[in-house]
Chains A and B, each alone.
Chain A
Amino acid sequence: MQAMVFRRILIGFATLWVVSIIVYFGLSVLPGDAAAIQLGQAATEESLAALRAQLGLDRPAYVRYFEWLGNMSTGDLGISNAGGATIASLIGFRLGNTLELGGIVAVISVPLSVFLGLAAAMYPGTWLDRALTFGTMSLVAVPEFLIATFLVLIFAVKLKWMPSIAYMSGGETFWEWVHALAMPILVLVVVVSAQMIRMTRAGILNVMNSPYIEMAILKGVPRKRIILRHALFNAIGPIINVIALNLAYLVSGVVIVETIFAYSGLAKLMIDGVQTRDFPLVQACAMIFCGTYVVLLLIADIAAIMSNPRLRNPK
């Protein structure tokens, strides 16, 4: 197991490096550089040259890549090409924001989804199951921005119960903070849970098809007991896998929610970085996202091994 963890961490670093190369090529094929984007319509050849010199963009791209790689390995994230702020200062508090929002959503949605998924699997074909299946499918099928805007119109504009944006001036009390974040939390819980409920249900029903469960069914073991005692432990691997992927999504993929609620998080920052051709910024975000992904999947795999005796002692 230790050897496995160690090997996976090494592989993780290899993946990070490949990501940095993909980002490097991705950004270099985009039209315009940070200087051209910053000056926009006001650009002239002269001012472009001056700004490029100021930002250090006059050196070849590969030189800047290796410079970045060198700095990165010493923990220095560099300086934003777009505004001149240090990347660490741009990322620091947004990472906090992202983790706060993602953390709350995870704490609510993971137990909720597993519970509802189990309930659906326990009574398949019943009205509860059908309602859950239909409900979750409908939610999966609707674009996130429609769900978000719809909820804003109801809860913020019409009822005025909650603010329409997750903006905080600083110095909020805990309840003010919860109030400000209520809408994005609601939207993300809806979006993320829908998929996790479906997957939990599917995972358990799949295990229910395996011969030893069928044997148990034939022996007359009650269904509830089969699911909680046997199926759940065997299905836990894939369920945790799905949970891990959804948590990774909460860190890197929530750009639409961050945009609609004007919430400063990492996902929006990376899109801004791409749009302003801010090479060090995009790289730093990519490293964080990839690192999160690798670590979460590793944890999921370890959890799957720990929970399953067959995997714990491989033949």
Chain B
Amino acid sequence: MTKKIENTDVDYGDMTGADRDLLTAALKRGATRREAMQMMAATGLSVAAAGAIVTSAEEAIAATPVKGGSVKMAPSLHGPDDAIVPAQFTSTVDYTRGRCHYNSLVQLNDDIIPQPELAQEFGANANATEWTFKLRKDVTFHDGSKFDADDVMYTMAQHYGDDSVSVVKSLVAGVEWKKVGQYEVKAILESPNSDLATLLGEKQFKIMKEGSAEEFRSGGALPTGTGPYALEDFQPGVRSKHVRNKNYWRDGPNFDEVEIFAITDPVARVNALLSRDVDMVAQVDPKAIKQVESTDGVQIKSNASGSYMGMCMMLDREPGNNPDFVKGMKLLHRRDKIVKSILKGQGTVGNDHPINEAYGADFCADLAIQDYDPDQAKHYLQKSGVTGAECVTAEVTPGMTDAVLMWQRECSKIGFDLQVKKVPTDGYWGSGWMQTPVNVVTWNMRPTATIMLDIAFAPTAPWNDTAWKNDRFGQLLTMAKAETNAAKRHEIQCEMQTLAHEGSGMIIPAHMNVVDGHASDIMGIPNLSLGILGGCEWPEFAWRA
């Protein structure tokens, strides 16, 4: 939910009531800041005073959502493989549609703390091995049928079994679901997990009506959800249209209608925002940020996040099995320059482990940032005896290839031959990543530091993408999952982050902010970092002034 502004008493200075109404009306109509300032200046105010008044007037308007209107949103990727069954969601367009169409058991707020959604109350036993979810009783699906525990059981069952095609299958592998009553379910865990509720905030765990996945797969109707908007039209790879759910179980969404269609070309996407043919766009190319910022009526939304770009050196084969090679390579990244010149400032410096400030208390701030030191690097590389390597790269996130090119340039300066082989993104995950000795990766931010480390750094994780098997790390991870004391967990986290920083074959030069663009009259977009436009949570909360 957006942070409500407590104090709505606007300091209008010496303005007359009529002027005040005029200003408010103009801003609600969508007047730009510049236009409003000109209005104020016409009444004889100084620029500074006018600015302050416009700001507080904007805030006052921002505090009171307006219902109505429609909105067009353009994500970056789509195709005939767009999914509508939550277990198969893989892209932001799926997530956003999912947020319109379905609800989750819990929702994550801006601080990534799980809040009640379809589960009215939830909690774990003392050692976090058993979680209970009490469900809301007043919820109906779009087709009018009642929501209850059977739907939850059905939805969760999608993530289990040999024939399950769920993409989050391994995240909940050790969890058994039990129906306790018509409105209560229990999750029984093989090993303690204090983050289960947070994990269920991932977009693939949205709840659908019992039986609807099978019906859809056999050519029947689209799956039914309880979400704030009902699906009026869905054409994979083209668009979807969502209309307000009049029977929504809570106050409900603000727009009457939401249209989602992707514009894959980054330049065209920004142009569509600038010409106001769409109201919101996902993933603004770093190069275009200044252009959006300097245009009236549109603005950038940038949320610091833990998403990262990484270069993976596989430790189980040549040349990554040579520790001196790995050490040398880690010293060849001008991390601040990558943030400044490739990400255009929309990111933070990375430290070769996946956690940064965005993860809050779990981040280990004491660990010194990896140096940029070509001389040391040269020393280690000479010691390793490796004289060349090939990095297979794909543009998995904007700026990835550029960061690799910068790395290549640094290598060539000290006489190391780093070949770059760029391949198309589509086949890359299956044939480049985790297959070739040196490759690249990007990971979106996960709800907690423990979940992130569990997915990609645990010794048993299927996505341990540098083949880094550290037993101590594995033990610490099990401890961290069970630990409910924040201070103790920080200590464990610090040790894990240090281990990954020193030992894994992962180079993480930078974390990327989530950078999107929207029209200035779209208000109330949440600040959750787990995905585009406030963690894809905007459909229920945003509104048009």
Contacts and interface: CB of A to CB of B under 8 A. Distances in A.
Please say whether chains A and B are actual partners in one complex. yes
Contacts of B427: 30-32, 36-37
A84 to B, nearest CB: 6
A281 B164 CA distance: 24
B414 interface: no
Contacts of B433: 41
Specify which of A47, A85, A273 lies most central, judged by the most chain B CB atoms within 10 Å of its CB.
A47
Interface string B428-459: 01110100000001000000000000000000
B81 A31 contact: no
Contact of A36 (B272, B424, B429): B429
A273 B236 CA distance: 12
Nearest to B257: A169
Contact of B268 (A37, A83, A160, A262): A262
Specify which of A39, A167, A269 lies most central, judged by the most chain B CB atoms within 10 Å of its CB.
A167
> Interface on chain B toward A: helix, strand, loop, or mixed SS?
loop
A82 interface: yes
Interface stretch (A49-57, A190-198, A204-212, A294-302): A49-57
Contacts of B429: 32, 36-37, 39-41, 43
Contacts of B268: 149, 152, 164-165, 259-262
A163 interface: yes
A259 B77 CA distance: 11
A48 to B, nearest CB: 9
B129 to A, nearest CB: 25
Interface string A249-277: 00000000001111010000100110111
A149 B430 CA distance: 33
Contacts of A275: 79, 424, 426
Contacts, number: 144
B208 to A, nearest CB: 16
B59 to A, nearest CB: 29
Given A36-B429, A262-B262, A272 B271 contact: no
B409 interface: no
Contacts of B164: 47, 50
A50 B81 CA distance: 17
A264 to B, nearest CB: 5
A78 to B, nearest CB: 13
Contacts of A30: 427
Interface in B68-118: 72, 74, 79-83, 88, 90
Given A36-B429, A46-B169, A165 B263 contact: yes
A129 interface: no
A83 B236 contact: yes
Given A80-B80, A164-B274, 12 more contacts: A31-B431, A32-B430, A37-B426, A38-B81, A42-B167, A51-B165, A82-B81, A85-B236, A160-B275, A164-B268, A167-B261, A169-B259
